[in-house]
């Protein structure tokens, strides 16, 4: 069946909200980040209000769990994006407070925001949830130090986690028996996490920024590696370069979001990128969304899986985790891809059970 791309994004969110607790979790913030972009693209004031009402619960109107990043406590990238786009102007003071908390939180010896209890533990997920948060706040408040932090966090993470043999990202460092080693994976969602962060840098840094040229180099190189590893079906795999790995939807959604932004902004030029994006959106719609807007084939929570010698290996990422339907990370990731499809002129998608 044919469905408007933004309508599909909203229906996916509604299914998420009906089946899971959205509050307290970073993947709930990610879904609201996608919903806010959907509402903005649709010029839907009712949805904007829904986002505002939810994010006004942060930071003081519920009991929070222990977070890896304090940015979540204030509403994370969703609230920062709404603030940056003029929808929550009264949140400047609290967002500044949490930007300062972020800068003064524990960091690894490389200068990467780390696990709050163990400073040697770092992972690529940070780039998706902290780089845009600091960038949006810095851009809106005119605070260069927040923009500096956003860019440097992203670049340092890419330098640590990039596998130069194939241009793809590893997920973690510090989790193995030898804490100096990075995990051996090229995890789909992990690459998506990194790609979202670098995507927002190239999208929002002004042309005269001292970071813009470097961001473009990193972004285009990662884009090329991801397009090179897209499967014939159009999706990306759980362990991206492994031909026998299973298809994975959340990483695919994040990758398509990043590609779509680059195409729309005129950074990724040529049919190669356009065809990869169209093929990916078509596959995501047909294979990863059902007619009742259930999401399919998403990796559950995954942080350097495995034990002993297999910990953090591609084998562990493939065999310790299994694809799930209605998996909590999937909703926001797929929604972001659909919003970007709409912005690129793909206003309808075909869902095929």
pLDDT tens digit sequence for 218-276: 999 999 999 999 999 999 999 999 999 999 999 999 999 999 999 999 999 999 999 99
At residue 312 the predicted structure's pLDDT band, cuts being 50, 70 and 90, is very high
Is the predicted pLDDT of residue 352 greater than 90, yes or no?
no
Is 187:238 a contact under the CB 8 Å cutoff?
yes
Mean pLDDT, rounded, for 311-336:
98
Task: Using DSSP, state whether 172 is helix, strand or coil.
Answer: strand
Q: Which of 249, 246, 258 is nearest to 222 (CA)?
A: 258
At residue 48 the predicted structure's pLDDT band, cuts being 50, 70 and 90, is very high
Provide the pLDDT for residue 119.
Answer: 87
Q: What is the mean pLDDT of the chain?
A: 97
- Number of structural domains (the chain) is 1
pLDDT tens digit sequence for 176-213: 999 999 999 999 999 999 999 999 999 999 999 999 99
CB-side neighbour CA atoms (13 Å) of 264: 22
Is 76:26 a contact under the CB 8 Å cutoff?
yes
Provide the pLDDT for residue 162.
Answer: 98
At residue 118 the predicted structure's pLDDT band, cuts being 50, 70 and 90, is confident
Is the predicted pLDDT of residue 285 greater than 90, yes or no?
yes
Strands 236-237 and 247-248, sheet pairing: antiparallel
Q: Helix 92-103 to helix 76-84 angle, to the nearest 10 degrees?
A: 130
Is the predicted pLDDT of residue 353 greater than 80, yes or no?
no
pLDDT tens digit sequence for 34-46: 999 999 999 999 9
Q: Is the peptide bond prior to 285 cis by the omega test (within 30 degrees of 0)?
A: no
pLDDT tens digit sequence for 52-75: 999 999 999 999 999 999 999 999
pLDDT tens digit sequence for 81-117: 999 999 999 999 999 999 999 999 999 999 999 999 8
Domain with 12, as residue range(s), is 2-350
CATH of residue 291's domain is 1.50.10.10
Q: Which two tokens stand for residue 158?
A: 């890419």
pLDDT tens digit sequence for 132-144: 999 999 999 999 9
Provide the pLDDT for residue 159.
Answer: 98
Encode 216-259 in three state secondary structure.
HHHHHHHHHHHHHCCCCCCCEECECCCCCCCEEHHHHHHHHHHH
Q: What span, in angstroms and rounded, lies between the C-alpha atoms of 186 and 98?
A: 31
For 291, phi and psi rounded to 5 degrees?
Answer: -65, -20
Q: CA dihedral in degrees (70, 76, 79, 83; nearest 10)?
A: 80
Provide the pLDDT for residue 181.
Answer: 96
Q: What span, in angstroms and rounded, lies between the C-alpha atoms of 321 and 313?
A: 12
Provide the pLDDT for residue 24.
Answer: 85
């Amino acid at each position: 069946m044919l469905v408007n791309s933004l309508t599909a994004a909203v229906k996916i969110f509604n299914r998420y909200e009906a089946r899971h607790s959205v509050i307290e979790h970073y993947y709930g913030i990610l879904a609201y980040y996608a919903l806010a972009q959907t509402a903005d693209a649709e010029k839907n004031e009712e949805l904007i209000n829904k986002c505002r009402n939810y994010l006004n619960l942060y930071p003081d109107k519920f009991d929070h769990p222990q977070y890896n990043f304090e940015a979540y406590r204030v509403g994370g990238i969703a609230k920062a994006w709404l603030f940056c786009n003029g929808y929550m102007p009264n949140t400047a003071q609290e967002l500044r407070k949490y930007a300062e908390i972020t800068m003064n939180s524990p960091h690894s010896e490389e200068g990467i925001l780390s696990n709050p209890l163990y400073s040697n533990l770092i992972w690529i997920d940070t780039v998706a949830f902290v780089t845009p948060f600091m960038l949006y706040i810095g851009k809106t408040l005119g605070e260069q130090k927040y923009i500096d932090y956003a860019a440097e966090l992203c670049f340092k993470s890419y330098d640590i986690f990039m596998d130069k043999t194939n241009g793809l990202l590893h997920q973690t460092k510090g989790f193995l028996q030898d804490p100096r080693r990075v995990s051996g994976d090229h995890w789909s969602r992990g690459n998506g996490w990194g790609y979202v962060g670098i995507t927002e840098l190239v999208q929002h840094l002004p042309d005269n920024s001292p970071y813009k040229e470097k961001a473009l180099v990193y972004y285009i190189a990662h884009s090329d590696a991801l397009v090179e590893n897209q499967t014939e079906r159009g999706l990306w795999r759980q362990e991206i370069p492994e031909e026998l790995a299973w298809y994975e939807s959340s990483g695919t959604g994040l990758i398509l979001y990043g590609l779509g932004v680059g195409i729309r902004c005129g950074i990724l030029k040529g049919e190669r990128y356009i065809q990869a994006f169209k093929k990916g959106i078509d596959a995501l719609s047909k294979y990863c969304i059902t007619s009742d807007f259930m999401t399919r084939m998403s990796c559950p929570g995954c942080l350097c899986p495995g034990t002993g010698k297999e910990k953090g290996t591609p084998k562990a990422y493939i065999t310790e985790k299994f694809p799930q339907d209605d998996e909590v990370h999937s909703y926001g990731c797929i929604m972001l891809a659909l919003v970007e499809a709409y912005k690129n002129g793909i206003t309808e998608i075909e869902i095929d059970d």
